[in-house]
A and B are shown apart, each in its own frame.
Chain A
Amino acid sequence: MAAGVATWMPFARAAAVGWLPLAQKTMPKPPVDKKSRSDEILFVNVSGLRFQTWKNTLDRYPDTLLGSSEKEFFYNEETQEYFFDRDPEMFRHILNFFRTGKLHYPRHECIQAFEEELAFYGIIPEIIGDCCMEEYRDRKKENQERLAEDTEAENAGDAPLPPDATLRERLWRAFENPHTSTMALVFYYVTGFFIAVSVIANVVETVPCRPIKGSIKDLPCGEKFSVAFSCLDTACVLIFSFEYLMRLYAAPSRCDFARSVMSVIDVVAILPFYIGLVMPENEEVSGAFVTLRVFRVFRIFKFSRHSQGLRILGCTLQACASELGFLLFSLTMAVIIFATVMFYAEKGTKGTTFSSIPASFWYTIVTMTTLGYGDMVPDSIAGKIFGSICSLSGVLVIALPVPVIVSNFARIYHQNQRADKMRAQQKVRQARIRMAKKGATNAFLQHKEDGGLQDGDSDSTPLCVKNRSAFEHQHHHLLHCLEKTTNHEFTDEVTYSEVCVTDSVGFRTSRSTSLSSQQGATTTCCSRRAKRRAFRLANSTVSVSRGSVQELDTLHITKTPAGTQYPQSRSSLNARTEDLKLNCADYTAAIISIPTPPANTPDESLPNSPAIPGILRNSRSSTYNTQETVKISSL
């Protein structure tokens, strides 16, 4: 329903009295309005800022959050108000919309924040009033373009290829991103070198060299050293053809590749040579053949693969196609008009150079671009007058589209800069996200060690475990449930790699025997590993944890019944080590939705090594309480 219709409903219904005399059937019964008729003031508390408004104001737009029953979800019974945990500054604009019926876009706000608020309150952005709609649209388009670039930069081929990529994919990758492998880089520079060589050869072969003995005329170098130059040309063309064929083979979509600009340039660069091979040594066609040699100069455009600036220029010209077209069109118009005028003005003069209108085109163009060669000059007074008008208007016509082209170039250039910056920052961002993820895992593993997973009563849980937030407890419980479902445990990468190694060497049998025997079997590979790690630990600064150190009671050496699965026994072992409250590091779990810095580093008592998994718990304890000489089985 359109805005504010609800207010006019009583009027429309009252006006229905006008139908009563004409009605053919009896009128239906009106709907019973259960709610009270009187209006009331509602209190809306947005993050502490209290707003008050009539209920009717909000009811004007029944398909928004505030106008519908959806706001009851946010009603706070104790304070008798609606509480929203959102931005109070933005809410002003939302409420103004309800009051005035016009939604304004605050210019200083971020477009995305504004859109999120609108989405939350159920208001569609199309309602923005005309005064602010232009600004909103522009900002939105800018933002979308930037987001599109970001996703493009993310998906750009910088990610490592999957290991089973075919030769074709690898080749294409090497061609498109030369910095990914050294071979590609070498190829890139070699082709660049040969393009330069070919262009220079084309240029040099027309330079006059000293004539051969017995002749007076100066020969161009091309004819003097014709063999050398033709060898060079052949070599270059062979390399370019090879490159083109390789690209054609590696391209994922050959049709698209064949139609792309770069491939057209490649073809144009090598075609003259092959056509020259095929053509017979005829006099008539050799003229055309010479023309074809001109196309060899297009090899210089192959440099655009090597230079980003050239590509930007090409992009700009493409983007400004309409402006350039306008420039061309207006110039053509002006040229025709002035040429005609000049021709007829100079018609009377004797021996004039303005022999025809097309001949006057040259004069007009030279004058309008303020070149003024002086090979064609008007003599009559009328001719001079019109000539001066021509040069004045030329300046104007050319100056008009130029700023547009320049601003387009600046925009595209900045976009490219931003894309490069994005790519560099992307790596940092990914690394940070990976660290945050590891922090969450480490928090869980640490939680396991600290005996947080035992089913015992709350008295025996260590203090550090109790101090964790409810959210962390629940998350760890969830992960623990998953462990129980799959009968496998989470570990960290270090243990995983070690387990992989020992697995491959075949120590599994010894490990399993150690697991079933509980009484301090110290000759297993695990213990060996543990001893190695313990040694490393002992070297780093180790201190008993800060704060309250609980007494080290005699540790129970558990006897688990034979035949239980590994994880159960291990976790129960972990549980019994509740007295060892050392190293209750406070890892804070970071769920990755927030791009916060990685989990807090542990306190000083822990050495700077990655989270130590459950296997080594007991070894550490053995390091610390060497006096106690109580050894838990190094499981």
Chain B
Amino acid sequence: MGALMVIFSLQKDQRRKRTDSVEDELELSAVRHRPEGLEQLEALTRFNRKELQILYRGFKNECPSGMVNEDTFKVIYSQFFPQGDASMYAHFLFNAFDTDKDGSVSFEDFVMGLSILLRGSVQEKLNWAFNLYDINKDGYITKEEMLDIMKAIYDMMGKCTYPLLKDDTPRQHVEIFFQKMDKNKDGVVTIDEFIDCCQNDENIMRSMQLFENVI
């Protein structure tokens, strides 16, 4: 009886070892992504060779596998906002950068997003911002979507602010935004209303020039 028990336990061990090894091997092969060549990227974006080199070196240092997944992205982005919680906004940003919706941002996605944001025309930048706000990408910004984005932005401030952040501050901000943008008062903001409104707003137009020389 003891012998049977022993033999049984030995068998279980061997089977465990075999499954372990297969899973180990699957884990060991990480995802690796190689970006397009420098020439193609130069053609696709508005960066020159040197700028692309600098961008890639920084990117590669952070993510040697060539892809950023959402958790890494959240960690990286949160380092810039130590006081608050940047994870929600980082989630929305990640979705805006991940244009092919494969769950990770490759160097191409990264550099093409940057190209629009830094070297694009005003129209393209506004398009990108609209895309960021439109969470379900249906072409309309609803109040709920805007509220989510607004809450995420206010979360980044943390709680030590002056004046004190109240619970309905984001909602009020959304109301102001909709009053300005929603021309036909149908409760949603379309891309045309958005671009139209922004182009007529001096403040916004002026600040679009701000980030030209970020690289």
Q: Can you pick out 12 interface pairs between chain A and chain B where the beta carbons lie within 8 Å of each other?
A: A73-B53, A124-B30, A322-B10, A332-B2, A475-B80, A481-B210, A486-B157, A489-B161, A490-B158, A491-B161, A492-B160, A592-B79
Contact present for A566 and B163 (CB under 8 Å)? yes
Interface of chain A: mostly helix, strand, loop or mixed? helix
Contact present for B9 and A325 (CB under 8 Å)? yes
B186 contacts chain A at the CB level, 8 A cutoff: no
Q: Report the stretch among B57-65, B124-132, B140-148 that lies at the interface.
A: B57-65
Contact present for B53 and A74 (CB under 8 Å)? yes
Cβ–Cβ < 8 Å partners of A329 in chain B: 2-3, 6-7
Q: Report the stretch among B31-39, B94-102, B115-123, B193-201 that lies at the interface.
A: B31-39
Cβ–Cβ < 8 Å partners of A485 in chain B: 153
A side interface size, CB within 8 A: 56
B13 contacts chain A at the CB level, 8 A cutoff: yes
Contact present for A124 and B82 (CB under 8 Å)? no
Q: Taking A122-B32, A326-B10 as contacts, is the C-beta distance between A493 and B160 under 8 angstroms? A: yes
- What's the nearest-Cβ distance from chain A to residue B57, in Å? 7
B180 contacts chain A at the CB level, 8 A cutoff: no
Contact present for A322 and B160 (CB under 8 Å)? no
Most buried by A among B32, B60, B163: B163
Which one of B6, B29, B82, B154 contacts A437 once the chains associate, using CB atoms below 8 Å? B82
Contact present for B34 and A122 (CB under 8 Å)? yes
B residues whose Cβ falls under 8 Å from a Cβ of A: 2-3, 5-7, 9-10, 13, 25, 28-30, 32, 34-35, 37-38, 52-53, 56-57, 60-61, 64-65, 79-83, 153-154, 156-165, 169, 173, 210, 214
- What's the nearest-Cβ distance from chain B to residue A74, in Å? 7
| Count: A-B pairs, CB below 8 Å | 124
Q: Give A118's nearest chain B residue, CB to CB.
A: B64
- What's the nearest-Cβ distance from chain A to residue B66, in Å? 8
Q: Mark A586-607, 1 if CB is under 8 A from B, else 0.
A: 0000011100000000000000
Q: 9 closest A-B pairs (Cβ-Cβ)?
A: A325-B6, A329-B6, A119-B64, A496-B160, A437-B82, A73-B56, A120-B64, A488-B161, A69-B37
Cβ–Cβ < 8 Å partners of B159 in chain A: 496
Which one of A72, A119, A567, A593 contacts B79 once the chains associate, using CB atoms below 8 Å? A593
Contact present for A490 and B83 (CB under 8 Å)? yes
- What's the nearest-Cβ distance from chain A to residue B36, in Å? 8
Contact present for B64 and A116 (CB under 8 Å)? yes
Contact present for B6 and A328 (CB under 8 Å)? yes
A87 contacts chain B at the CB level, 8 A cutoff: no
Contact present for A326 and B57 (CB under 8 Å)? no
- What's the nearest-Cβ distance from chain A to residue B146, in Å? 14
Cβ–Cβ < 8 Å partners of A326 in chain B: 6, 10
A142 contacts chain B at the CB level, 8 A cutoff: no
Contact present for B79 and A499 (CB under 8 Å)? no
Q: Taking A72-B38, A321-B9 as contacts, is the C-beta distance between A490 and B161 under 8 angstroms? A: yes
Q: Taking A119-B64, A490-B161 as contacts, is the C-beta distance between A75 and B53 under 8 angstroms? A: yes
Q: Mark A112-135, 1 if CB is under 8 A from B, else 0.
A: 000010011010111000000000
Cβ–Cβ < 8 Å partners of B153 in chain A: 482, 485-486
A339 contacts chain B at the CB level, 8 A cutoff: no
- What's the nearest-Cβ distance from chain A to residue B25, in Å? 7
Q: Give B76's nearest chain A residue, CB to CB.
A: A593
Which one of B65, B154, B163 contacts A119 once the chains associate, using CB atoms below 8 Å? B65
A440 contacts chain B at the CB level, 8 A cutoff: yes
Q: Mark A330-344, 1 if CB is under 8 A from B, else 0.
A: 001100000000000
Contact present for A495 and B28 (CB under 8 Å)? no
Contact present for B57 and A441 (CB under 8 Å)? no
A568 contacts chain B at the CB level, 8 A cutoff: no
